[in-house]
Amino acid sequence: MSEQIGVMTRLRAARKHGAALWIPLGIVAAYVVVAAVGPLVIGYDHVATAVADRLLSPGSTTSDGGTAWLGTDGLGRDVASQIVYGARTSLIIATVAVTISALVGMTVGALAGLVGGWVDVVLSRIVDVLLTFPGVLLAIVVAGLFARGLPTVILSLSITAWTPFARVARNVTLSIKEREWVSAARLMGVRRPALLVRHVLPFVVPPMVAMATLEFALVVLAEAGLSFLGIGLPSGTPSWGQTVANGKEYLATAWWISAFPGIALFVLVVSVGLLGDQLSARLGRNRRSPL
């Protein structure tokens, strides 16, 4: 009887952990599908204005006979279309920025941990100095120095985002390089580049994947903040932050302009954060499990 209860308890726990992983993963996948396919099927002109369709409430009929399912903004532009196009913008920026940050951070951290000595000291001090600066504040400074555009936003968000990756990669490398197989490869004359690629990086990548999901949510939120402040993307590029900023003057009369993109941003950030927590927990259990 006790064994049956134990089996049922483990099944419930596995089902619970599975739901905690698959629900946020499904939500993030839905965002990806909307960002990839939505702009292909939704006609939207971010420059055109329709004075007759200004500030229509959700579900209203537009002047051309269509339906504004999430209402329109102060210029008569469809809010739902802005959310779909803004999803593509946010996902592209976050994916590129996190990929660059992860590659740079993983390379720097693994190199510092493997080589050691003065190389480790110099690179570690650089990481420590950059970590003392508030990332969002430094991103605002960088974005304000250059012309507004996708490259500027990606650069401003990547300039400090690589430092957490470097710190984790260094710590993992320090623990891996003393393992038997790494010492054996070193005694066999394997050079450091091959040692890094073949014997160290495979163990650094899993925690990098978990950290990338958490960093992804922060980058999406930071990009929306830059666009909200008007120093991120140009006005011709749809962004959730810009849509929220455009509706702040109509919060009392047209709340939907800021509310719906804000909800879309909130759901994505929370889902990615939950997904990152689950990946971190699972990868942590795998690293602790005996080989």
Percent of the chain at pLDDT > 90 equals 32
Looking at the domain assignment, is residue 47 inside a domain? no
Does residue 50 form part of some domain? no
Q: Is pLDDT above 80 for 197?
A: no
Give this prediction's pTM. 0.85
Structure tokens at 256: 């939907």
Residue 241 near residue 232, CB atoms below 8 Å = yes
Query: What's residue 10's pLDDT?
Result: 46
255 belongs to a structural domain: yes
83-118 per-position pLDDT tens digit: 999 999 999 999 999 999 999 999 899 888 888 888
User: Which tens digits make up the pLDDT trace of 117-155?
Assistant: 888 899 888 888 888 877 788 888 888 888 888 898 999
15 occurs within a structural domain: no
Is pLDDT at 11 greater than 60 in this prediction? no
Give yes or no for a contact between 97 and 105, defined as CB atoms under 8 angstroms apart.
no
- Residue 108 backbone phi and psi in degrees, to 5: -65, -45
DSSP of 8-47: HHHHHHHHHHHHHHHHHHHHHHHHHHHHHHHHHHS---SS
Residues 165-183 have a mean pLDDT of 84
29 lies in some domain = no
- The confidence score (pLDDT) of residue 16 equals 53
Name the average pLDDT for the chain: 83
CATH number assigned to the domain comprising residue 281? 1.10.3720.10
The C-alpha R_g of the chain, in whole angstroms, comes to 23
Region 57-71: what's the mean pLDDT?
88
In this predicted model, what pLDDT tens digit does every residue of 216-238 receive, in sequence order? 999 999 999 999 988 878 877 88
Angle, CA 205 vertex, CA 122 and CA 222 arms, to 5°: 75
The answer to whether position 176 is within a domain reads yes
**Residue 38 covered by a domain:** no
Query: Would residue 30 count as lying in a domain?
Result: no
**For residues 65 and 45, which has the higher predicted lDDT (pLDDT)?**
65
Q: The domain containing residue 231 runs over which residues?
A: 79-288
For 70-90, write each residue's pLDDT tens digit.
999 988 889 999 999 999 999
pLDDT at position 57 is 92
Tally of domains in the chain? 1
- Whether 4 shows a pLDDT value over 50: the answer reads no
Instruction: Examine the pLDDT at 1 and tell me if it is beyond 60.
Output: no
Q: What is the pLDDT of residue 233?
A: 86
**How much is the average pLDDT of 164-191?**
82
